[in-house]
């Protein structure tokens, strides 16, 4: 995404979007994140990697990568507000095509799981690596279910509900397959469902509620994590839960050492302290307390960007919630899709993904763009009906 973000640079000299409170707060947060990379021990010292022989082209410097990625996402969102009416229809067709491809892929996994696993073994891929990638795909597909259900042509509310229920059941079946540790996907389903109910009750004000709850969650997360480490016994829980609790305990200690400025973006990648874990089969493994990142977005923000970063991203969440409350589509169906995406994203940020995971945010950008397209199409429909 960062490489593609280079293409957005010329637009700075063409027509810049009007800044709003949420945009300014996000820009301030990103500027602070980029600044922290100068004292981050985990940040890659290189600038770019150009390796044609291995088809490896990447921007290594996290500050530059963050700047370009956020620029791309910002201009993509801005551009969607300035399309002509017929272009929204084309965007809707492209979105439907992508969602249908994803649905067919998931259906194939449900019905041909054994064949899929045999194919993975035959091509020589490590089953563990393949399963990890499949878990990530299942996670993102959960957030796509509401968008899939409401974007299909000629689908009335009962059919939309049926599509959503069938898709959710299929994904739940996948979470029960051997080797698929998808607790996060199940929690995200529950959160998305709760947000759909909330949108039905509160309408557009669900965005204001989500903005406030997100800010509270970020600011209070160190306290929540501390309570979890005190209440949850690592000896009686599953390996995945106990690993997260140990990771959070370690990260909380790091936060207390640099509470204001933080350790810098991607600093947690360099925290390689480890401990010995006994697996269920009796084997001993040396595992890092923080395997790449804390698996809790709010704690990662606190640890790497400090109190300053936590305040800035919380302000962004509140301002975004307020703006969406004022400007979102009046359709409760569209509001429900957007709220479900927000709620599910919070779950994944809390227990799974790194804050700086480009692929994760690219998927969120796709879903958010779909919500915006549906919102604009609904507005055109209302305008046509008024005539």
Q: Per-domain residue ranges for the chain?
A: 18-69+179-363
DSSP secondary structure of 173-215: HHHTSTT---HHHHHHHHHHHHHHHHHHHHTTHHHHHHHHHHH
Angle between the N-to-C axes of helices 205-231 and 239-257, in degrees from 0 to 180, rounded to the nearest 10: 100
What pLDDT digit, counting tens, does each position of 7-38 carry?
Answer: 555 555 555 556 789 889 998 998 999 899 88
Helix, coil or strand: residue 292? coil
Report d(CA 69, CA 5) in Å as an integer.
6
- Bridge partners of residue 285, in order along the sequence: 277
Rounded to the nearest 10°, the torsion over CA 68, 354, 131, 247 is 160
Q: Give the side-chain half-sphere CA count within 13 A for 383.
A: 8
- Residue 82 tokens read as 């300035």
Q: What is the mean pLDDT of the chain?
A: 82
> Which band of pLDDT confidence, cut at 50, 70 and 90, is reported for residue 207?
very high
Report d(CA 209, CA 134) in Å as an integer.
32
Of 387 and 225, more confident: 225
Give residues with Cβ within 8 angstroms of 317, minimum separation 6: 210, 211, 212, 214, 215, 218
Cα separation values, 77 from 115, 258, 341, 367, 386, Å: 40, 34, 16, 11, 28
What pLDDT digit, counting tens, does each position of 137-153 carry?
Answer: 888 999 999 999 998 87
In the prediction, which pLDDT does 11 show? 54
Of 333, 329, 372, 331, which is closest to residue 150 (Cα–Cα)?
Answer: 333
What pLDDT digit, counting tens, does each position of 225-255 carry?
Answer: 999 888 887 666 667 677 788 889 999 999 9
> Which band of pLDDT confidence, cut at 50, 70 and 90, is reported for residue 386?
very low
- CB atoms near residue 43 (< 10 Å): 21
Q: In the block, which residue shows the tokens 């063409």?
A: 14
Of 304, 371, 313, 315, which is closest to residue 342 (Cα–Cα)?
Answer: 371
Of 247, 249, 251, which is closest to residue 226 (Cα–Cα)?
Answer: 249
Report d(CA 232, CA 250) in Å as an integer.
15
Of 94 and 182, more confident: 94
DSSP secondary structure of 326-383: HHS-S-HHHHHHHHHHHHHHHHHHHHT--TT-HHHHHHHHHHHHHHHHHHHHHHHHHH
In the prediction, which pLDDT does 200 show? 93
Cα separation values, 224 from 159, 248, 368, Å: 40, 10, 29
Q: Does residue 382 carry a pLDDT above 50?
A: no
Give residues with Cβ within 8 angstroms of 376, minimum separation 6: 80, 83, 88
> Which band of pLDDT confidence, cut at 50, 70 and 90, is reported for residue 2?
very low
In the prediction, which pLDDT does 128 show? 60
Of 142, 227, 253, which is closest to residue 192 (Cα–Cα)?
Answer: 142
In the prediction, which pLDDT does 256 show? 95
Report d(CA 33, CA 305) in Å as an integer.
6
Cα separation values, 190 from 1, 23, 249, Å: 30, 30, 26
In the prediction, which pLDDT does 348 show? 93
Per-position b or e across 87-104, b if 16+ CB within 10 A of its CB: ebeebbeebbeebeebbe
């Amino acid at each position: 995404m960062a490489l593609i973000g280079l293409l957005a640079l010329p637009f700075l000299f063409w027509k810049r979007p009007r800044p709003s409170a949420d945009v300014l707060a996000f820009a301030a947060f990103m500027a602070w994140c980029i600044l922290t990379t100068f004292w981050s021990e985990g940040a890659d010292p290189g600038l770019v990697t150009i390796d044609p022989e291995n088809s490896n082209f990447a921007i290594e410097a996290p500050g530059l990568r963050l700047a370009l990625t956020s620029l791309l996402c910002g201009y993509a969102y801005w551009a969607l507000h300035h399309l002509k009416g017929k272009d929204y229809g084309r965007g809707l067709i492209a979105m439907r095509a992508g969602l249908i491809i994803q649905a067919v892929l998931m259906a194939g996994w449900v019905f041909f799981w054994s064949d899929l696993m045999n194919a993975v073994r035959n091509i020589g891929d490590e089953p563990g690596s393949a399963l990890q990638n499949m878990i990530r795909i299942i996670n993102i597909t959960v957030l796509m279910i509401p968008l899939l259900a409401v974007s299909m042509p000629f689908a009335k509310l009962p059919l939309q509900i049926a599509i959503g229920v069938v898709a959710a059941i299929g994904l739940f079946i996948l979470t029960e397959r051997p080797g698929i540790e998808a607790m996060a996907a199940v929690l995200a389903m529950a959160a998305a469902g709760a947000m759909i109910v909330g949108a039905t009750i509160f309408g557009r004000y669900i965005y204001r509620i989500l903005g406030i709850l997100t800010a509270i969650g970020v600011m209070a997360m160190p306290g929540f994590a501390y309570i979890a480490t005190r209440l949850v016994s690592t000896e009686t829980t599953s390996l995945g839960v106990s690993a997260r609790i140990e990771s959070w305990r370690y990260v909380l200690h790091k936060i207390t050492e640099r509470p204001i400025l933080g350790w810098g973006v991607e600093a947690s990648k360099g925290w390689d302290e480890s401990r010995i874990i006994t697996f269920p089969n009796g084997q001993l493994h040396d595992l890092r307390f923080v395997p790449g990142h804390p698996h809790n977005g709010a704690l990662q923000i606190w640890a790497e960007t400090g109190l300053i970063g936590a305040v800035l991203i919380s302000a962004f969440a509140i301002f975004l919630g307020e703006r969406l409350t004022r400007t979102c589509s009046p359709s409760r169906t569209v509001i429900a899709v957007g709220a479900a995406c927000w709620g599910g994203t919070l779950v994944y940020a809390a227990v799974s993904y790194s804050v700086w995971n480009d692929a994760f945010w690219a998927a969120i950008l796709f879903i958010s763009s779909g919500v915006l397209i549906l919102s604009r199409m609904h507005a055109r429909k209302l305008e046509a009906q008024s005539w």
